[in-house]
Amino acid sequence: WRFSDLESLNLGSNQLEGEISPEIGGMSNLNELNLGSNQLSGSIPPEIGKLSSLIDLNFSSNQLTGSIPQEIGLLSSLTRLSLFNNQLSGSIPPELGGLSNLENLGLSNNQLTGSIPPELGNLSKLVDLILGYNQLSGSIPSEIGNLSRLGTLNLSENQLSGSIPPEIGGLSKVYWFFLNNNQLNGSIPPEIGRLTKLGRLDLY
């Protein structure tokens, strides 16, 4: 038996400290990697991009710093990416738009800056897009309207500006919709009236 044979590594909800070792990239058969709810610090090693079988990656609720490595965009089998509740900074890598199987993207409660990459509009299977409580700026990309399976869109508590794009009307399945506490301006697009599944809408 070897560590490289592991298919699931779940060490979540402990009191683990220290950094995530780059050697984790050698666990090539991992489907699930859960280190969430610990006290891990340091940056996410780019070697994570070697875990080509990974379906679920959870580093949430730690003390991780630095940027999100663009190598995560190589994880083509990934369905869930949970990095929320850390101290991550820098921009959201546009390479995440290549995760064609991604269903849940949680990056909230960090210190992320820059604009929302329009490439996220390529994530056709996405159900949850949660980017709230960061320092994201710029306008909401119209490509977000391509996410026809989206049930939750949370862009609240950022520094987003500009108008709400009318393409938002393409989110026919969205139920939770949060844009509050930004710097958005202009009028509310009438296309929002197409969102017949809405359970809650917070705009300003």
**25 HSE (CA, 13 A, CB side):** 14
The pLDDT of residue 1 is 44
Distance CA(171)–CA(144), nearest Å, equals 8
Q: How, if at all, do strands 80-82 and 128-130 pair?
A: unpaired
For 8-150, strand residue ranges (E) read 8-10, 17-19, 32-34, 39-42, 56-58, 63-64, 80-82, 89-90, 104-106, 111-112, 128-130, 137-138
The pLDDT of residue 101 is 98
Tell me the per-residue pLDDT of 22-43, one tens digit each, with 9 for 90 and over: 999 999 899 999 999 999 999 9
- CA 74, 175, 137, 57 torsion-angle sign: negative
Tell me the per-residue pLDDT of 151-164, one tens digit each, with 9 for 90 and over: 999 999 999 999 99
Element (H, E) at 183: strand 183-184
- Rg, C-alpha atoms of the chain: 17
Tokens of 22: 């780059």
Tokens of 129: 């897009």
Q: What is the pTM of this model?
A: 0.95
Ranking 12-21, 37-46, 116-125, 193-202 by mean pLDDT, the lowest is: 193-202
User: Residue 145: which of 116, 165, 117 has the closest Cα?
Assistant: 165
